[in-house]
């Protein structure tokens, strides 16, 4: 009996200690909520996994209608450009500044369209994801419209960047550059700053990049050994200057590329290029 | 030198960069040493490097095959000097600063290359490396495990053969091809899950076969060479790459 009592006492003490530490952390503002600071990779992975599991557990009753009618997909296309492009971007089209600054990152929907079942996509469109910036559209869009968006996202992996970009040129050119993009570089290229910046331009949503939270995606090629590789985009020789040129405007070098022009400032591009130059593969 | 003869082939491959620093190209390699090194580096692998990058120039007055671009050119006349490193391989596949003599020492048969440069005989295709023969059953098992229909299974296994024969691994790191591990183009691990091919095509086996048959038609300035695959070969290779998840 004494042993059990002691165990219970220890557990209660630990619980109280845990509660005390938590209250202290919250009250002193110990936890940094800045979106400009990265998550720990493992924290990001756990949160993403928890989100997927939560969505999967709630879609059993959703009846998926046929999603292949061209009219439905066209309607979804219009809605996507109206409501989704600003944060998620599209093939070859950069998100607006609002999306680039978000944490967790708005995922690349061409990848999600291939990976996610339609019921789960619909659920996220309808209900959003709490504690991320993904809104729920249940009270803003009709059922038919939400299914139209779902149908379009499912089709998105088959839309070439050229087709997406050429379909609505007026809209894509309405992307306004920000005052930061025009700023001149203030320091020599710094790889550590580059590592911080790479999380500010949504690179992780398309590439696998070692050391960057959430960078496990296969829209573009993996960047694990980019410093060892001979070519950038299959066209430019891999030098820091060329990498900066590529980052500043991939569309000029590879027209129709899935990599959008992210309207980086030159200083940011130099720093990110410096960081990429530190990514060597295992065999060298 | 004796420590190298004690190594197995795997270690020899990993040691290859070390060998290059121990025997810099500026030094003459003795025949004995070259013979011992050659036993560690199967000739076919060195050849697959060579033939991936070099092709014959058109014979004088003959039909031109210059529409098949390659990564490097063998300049006519440069083969007369054995120690001439003017056509050194600088694309990062481990053959930097090799001279004609070095190629011969490592067992690459350059007599045919020289003759081809002078327009006398057509080039020979790189032969299948031992690692491909070793790994072909693995590739078949991989194709079987993805649960694809019978025709696709055969395609993926044949696709791995095509990939090895045409030296794709000289530029890409490809699961199923042990060596070389190329760093010219992006790694192809998990290629079946990539959304885009070369950043411009949406990824499907058909689009991939189209890309493999003629990269320049899809993306004019790409460094990826047209290695002259037939339709069937391109489909097989595309099937294998699409099976990499």
Rounded to whole angstroms, what are the CA distances from B194 to A218, A254, B27, B151, B234? 5, 18, 45, 23, 18
Residues of A in contact with B201 (CB under 8 A): 160
pLDDT the model gives residue A42: 92
Mean pLDDT in residue range B58-83: 40
Residue from B18, B90, B181, B199 whose CB has the most chain A CBs within 10 Å, to mutate: B199
Interchain CB distance below 8 Å, B183 and A229: yes
CB A162 within 8 A of CB A100: no
pLDDT the model gives residue A235: 87
- Give the 3-state secondary structure of residue B16: helix
What pLDDT, in 10s, does the model give residues A83-125?
999 899 999 998 888 888 898 999 999 999 999 999 999 999 9
State whether residue B198 sits within 8 Å of chain A by CB: yes
Mean pLDDT in residue range B47-63: 42
The overall average pLDDT reported for chain A is 90
Cα angle: A187, vertex A192, A195; to 5 degrees? 115
**Contact map slice: A 33-92 vs B, CB within 8 A:** 91
What pLDDT, in 10s, does the model give residues A173-183?
545 567 777 77
CB B153 within 8 A of CB B242: no
CB A99 within 8 A of CB A106: yes
pLDDT the model gives residue B153: 56
- pLDDT bin (cut points 50, 70, 90) of residue B154 is low
Distance from CA of B121 to the nearest CA of A (A): 32
- Give the 3-state secondary structure of residue A95: coil
State whether residue B206 sits within 8 Å of chain A by CB: no
- pLDDT bin (cut points 50, 70, 90) of residue A260 is very high
Q: Measure CB to CB from residue A283 to each of B181, B198, B219 and give the nearest one.
A: B181
Q: Measure CB to CB from residue B183 to each of A157, A222, A230 and give the nearest one.
A: A230
The single-letter DSSP state of residue A237 is E
pLDDT the model gives residue B227: 85
Cα B93 to Cα B180: distance, rounded to the nearest angstrom? 8
Residues of A in contact with B212 (CB under 8 A): none
Residue in chain B nearest A281 by alpha carbon: B183
| A·B CB contacts under 8 A | 84
pLDDT: is B71 or B239 the higher one? B239
What stretches of chain A show up as alpha helix (H) in DSSP?
2-28, 41-56, 70-79, 85-88, 97-100, 109-115, 118-127, 143-155, 161-167, 169-172, 191-198, 240-248, 250-253, 266-276
Nearest to A175 by CA among A247, A81, A259: A81
- pLDDT bin (cut points 50, 70, 90) of residue B9 is very low
| Both tokens assigned to A66 | 């046929």
pLDDT the model gives residue B105: 52
Cα B36 to Cα B40: distance, rounded to the nearest angstrom? 7
CB B183 within 8 A of CB A228: yes
Residues 6+ positions from A161 with CB-CB distance below 8 Å? A91, A92, A256, A257, A258, B196, B199, B200
Residues of A in contact with B193 (CB under 8 A): 114, 218
pLDDT the model gives residue B152: 53
pLDDT at B12 over 80: no
Residues of B in contact with A254 (CB under 8 A): 199-200, 219
What pLDDT, in 10s, does the model give residues B108-128?
444 444 444 444 444 343 333
ipTM of the complex: 0.84
Interchain CB distance below 8 Å, B196 and A114: no
In this prediction the pTM is 0.71
The neighbour count for residue B141, using CB atoms within 10 Å, is: 12
């Amino acid at each position: 009996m004494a042993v059990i009592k002691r165990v219970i006492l220890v557990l209660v003490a630990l619980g109280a200690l845990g509660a005390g530490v938590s209250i202290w952390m919250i009250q002193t503002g110990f936890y940094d909520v800045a979106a400009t600071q990265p998550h720990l990779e493992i924290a990001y992975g756990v949160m993403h996994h928890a989100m997927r599991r939560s969505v999967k557990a709630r879609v059993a009753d959703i009846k998926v209608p046929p999603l292949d009618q061209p009219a439905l997909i066209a309607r979804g296309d219009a809605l996507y450009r109206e409501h989704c492009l600003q944060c998620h971007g599209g093939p070859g089209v950069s998100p607006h500044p609002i999306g680039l600054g978000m944490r967790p990152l708005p995922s690349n929907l061409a990848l999600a369209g291939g990976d996610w079942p339609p019921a789960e996509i619909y659920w996220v469109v309808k209900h959003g994801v709490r504690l991320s910036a993904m809104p729920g559209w249940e009270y803003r869009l009709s059922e038919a419209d939400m299914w139209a968006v779902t149908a379009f996202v499912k089709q998105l992996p088959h839309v070439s960047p050229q087709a997406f970009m050429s379909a609505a040129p007026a809209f894509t050119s309405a992307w306004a550059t920000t005052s930061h993009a025009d700023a001149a570089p203030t320091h020599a290229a710094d790889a550590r700053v580059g590592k911080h910046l790479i999380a500010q331009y949504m690179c992780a949503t398309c590439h696998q990049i070692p050391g960057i939270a959430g960078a496990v995606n296969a829209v573009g090629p993996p960047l694990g050994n980019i410093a060892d590789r001979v070519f950038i985009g299959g066209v430019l020789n891999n030098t820091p200057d060329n990498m900066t040129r590529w980052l500043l405007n991939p569309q000029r070098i590879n027209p129709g590329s899935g990599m959008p022009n992210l309207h980086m400032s030159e200083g940011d591009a130099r720093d990110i290029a410096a960081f990429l130059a530190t990514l060597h593969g295992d065999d060298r | 030198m004796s420590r190298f003869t004690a190594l197995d082939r795997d270690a020899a491959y990993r040691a290859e960069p070390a060998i290059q620093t121990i025997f810099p190209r500026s030094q003459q390699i003795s025949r004995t040493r070259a013979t011992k090194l050659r036993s560690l580096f199967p000739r076919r692998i060195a050849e697959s490097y060579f033939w991936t990058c070099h092709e014959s120039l058109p014979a004088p007055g003959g039909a031109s095959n210059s529409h098949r671009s390659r990564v490097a050119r063998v300049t006519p006349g440069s083969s007369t000097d054995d120690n001439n490193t003017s056509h050194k391989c600088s694309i990062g596949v481990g053959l930097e600063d090799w001279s004609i003599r070095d190629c011969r020492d490592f067992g690459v048969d350059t007599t045919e290359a020289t003759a081809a440069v002078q327009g006398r005989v057509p080039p020979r295709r790189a032969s299948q490396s031992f690692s491909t023969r070793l790994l072909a059953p693995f590739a078949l098992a991989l194709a079987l495990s993805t649960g694809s229909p019978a025709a696709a299974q055969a395609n993926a296994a044949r696709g791995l053969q095509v990939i090895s024969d045409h030296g794709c691994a000289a530029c890409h790191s490809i699961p199923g091809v042990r060596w070389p591990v190329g760093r010219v183009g992006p790694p192809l691990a998990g290629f079946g899950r990539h959304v885009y091919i070369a950043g411009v095509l949406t990824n499907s086996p058909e689009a991939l076969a189209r890309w493999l048959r003629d990269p320049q038609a899809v993306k004019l300035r790409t460094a990826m060479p047209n290695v002259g695959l037939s339709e069937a070969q391109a489909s097989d290779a595309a099937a294998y790459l699409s099976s990499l998840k």
